[in-house]
Amino acid sequence: MADDYTPPEVWTWEPGNGGAFAAINRPTSGAQVDKALPEGEHPFQLYSLGTPNGQKVTILFEELLEAGFSDAEYDAWLINIGDGEQFTSGFVALNPNSKIPALLDKSGSEPFRVFESGAILLHLAEKFGAFIPTDAKGRAECLSWLMWQMGSAPFIGGGFGHFYHYAPAKIEYAIDRYAMETKRLFDVADKRLGEARYLAGDDYTIADMAAYGWLGAIAKGLAYGNAATFLSVHEYVNVQRWVDELTARPGLRRGRVVGRASAGEGRYLKERHSAEDFKALEPGVI
């Protein structure tokens, strides 16, 4: 990549654009392959992948089941975005934006779709009356932190994660720009978690589930190579406390291992169709 690159007057797409993700990125939307999605027997059909965004919903489902909501049984189907499965006609019918996760809710008289992770979390939390405050003040705080996470994810993932770890060339300006913003977001969370047990206050909510995959993976050195050291995330002691507390939750521990293409090593599940599926994991994983 030339240091003296000057953008053309009109940008045109070339198949090689996108570095590690060039094979799946396109400047257009819509289905590229005609293929239906599978369906299971449970009321909720989730089509996803165990990325930080995908984990949000499987964590909520498992937390609902852990809390005794037996009607929250679900099938989790793997959508391998590296293979372009998000561009099949079946998936695009659920999410025209071709991003995981996408949910088919068959629990009522007429099935309907829900897409975007935050919308799915809100839909399920309201449907079951769990993990979201019912008073106006508490609900506003929960939704504020949920939307904070939704707005911050592109800076952490598509910004810092991409330019620091995935981009074919290291661009100092881009890395500095998004490292600064990622550290600012960690600082926002750290200050909040210094005054409250959870993001929305005293109670564990969907706001915590939404933020856990993004903040937790970096905080524990599980994302973007050497990012934890590069960002000095050990300094955010309140975030570290929060991550440790959430990681001890059985529902969360189950939810975070669902939907991984690398399921063969005994630490993850490729798909989830029954609570019995977790018995295939190595001892101590959940």
Mean pLDDT by 10 residues, the chain (286 residues): 80 80 84 96 98 97 98 97 94 97 98 98 98 98 98 95 94 97 98 98 98 98 97 98 98 96 82 96 90
Q: What is the C-alpha to C-alpha distance for residues 195 and 191, in angstroms, rounded to an integer?
A: 7
With a CB cutoff of 8 Å and minimum separation 6, the contacts of 18 are 24, 25
**Which domains are assigned to the chain?**
1-131+259-265 (3.40.30.10), 136-255 (1.20.1050.10)
Output the pLDDT for position 24: 78
What integer pLDDT is reported at residue 147 of this predicted model? 98
Q: In the prediction, which pLDDT does 22 show?
A: 73
How many alpha carbons lie under 13 Å from residue 54 in its C-beta half-sphere?
24
Query: 151-161: buried (b, 16+ CB within 10 Å) or exposed (e) per residue?
Result: ebbebbbebbb
Cβ(220)–Cβ(171) below 8 Å: no
Angle at which helices 117-128 and 52-66 cross, to 10°: 10
Predicted confidence at residue 15, as pLDDT, reads 79
Pseudo-torsion of CA 175, 207, 245, 252, nearest 10°?
-100
Q: How far apart are CA 98 and CA 236, in angstroms?
A: 34
**pLDDT for the residue 1:** 53
Q: Which of 63, 209, 236, 90 is nearest to 150 (CA)?
A: 209
